[in-house]
Structure 1
Amino acid sequence: MRDELSVLLCRRYPRLYTQVREGVPTGAPAENWCFDCADGWFDLIDALSEVVIQYVDVTDQLEVQASDVKEKHNELSFNVHGGDDYIDGAIWMAEIMSAVVCQICGTIDCTAHGRLPGLSPPKTVRFPDVHRPAWRRLVQALDVAVNLLISRGAPEIVVEAVREGESLRFSWSGGNDEIAGCFSLVEAFSQRLGKEAP
């Protein structure tokens, strides 16, 4: 990621990006924090960082620090020290979404780079249809994440509605903190796409 985007993330979320990374001298400013991926994931990482910090502020009991943010096997790898199930769910969702958000240009379903992971979890949750193609892919990624979590033992959920505006908003019940983190990340990322989403 370009230095100016890395600096921007470090300045927006200084509590999250304080961990000293390998190769960065101790005492170096946070701006030396390295995001080892291309610029296209900036909005995804920004949305995830916002979700994590807002949650930490609300709970007022957690300390979370990013330890490594990089591309690994063409998907985002976002590692932290600290956190809980909610934060794990938001990170899990970002990592799944990175398969449909182009790392190079940031568009959803870029024909050169975008793809959905080849996962087919048992379907227990039905998501309402959405109209915008970009929203459809985000809901598809959310569908994969939530159904995988349920297949691994998370409580089932019911999605009552999806509201499409300048962002996605979901009405749902059931689940657990991990699933809540998934929904929060999709809503936060969709805000960054806003009116630009096809």
Structure 2
Amino acid sequence: MTLLMAGPSPFVRTVLVTAHETGQIAEIETRKVAASPTGADPELVSANPLGKIPALMRPDGPALYDSRVICRYLDHRAQAGLYPDSRLWEVLTLEATAQAMMDAGVSMVYERRVRPEDMVYEPWIAGQWGKITRALDAVEARWTSHLSGRLTMAQIALGCALGYLDFRHGDRGWREGRPTLAAWYARFAERPSMQETEPAA
């Protein structure tokens, strides 16, 4: 299998952590491609017409894209149980919450990186950060009980989302007022899968 990736993407990291945790990382070759929203690599577009990463090329079928689809595929392939039936809807909801945080965090970066400086729209950036803070508050208040016990995809997705906040938005202090979530992440970040996939500038 070949994973098309670019830069320190939290979506790519989610797939890589899942591959580590399910014992499949040695079966995946990674290949870096250009994935700018204003122009994507032809190889990436041929695998994913949306031109977005990650995309997983596999020998037994068409390429898979969207990190949630790829992670579900890897879990199914390894029968790893990251989506337990007994908590499926909670796991999927928390995974979606984490993915939305990643979307908002990446959008904030693109707003400054892709637009000319005089066209950057600060209310848009503030609105994206508002989504993230509301999600963080919801996890702290209602979801932390789902972060204990056997590993699930919810934990992996949230760990990668929080890691991205540290990497790209560390000056915004997401831990403030969220001691339970901060303590959980400190423990989760020590997992070998997280250490092996820690983003570099």
TM-score using structure 2 length: 0.37
Larger helix proportion, structure 1 or 2?
A: 2
TM-score using structure 1 length: 0.38
Structure having greater relative contact order (Cα 8 Å, sep ≥ 6): 2
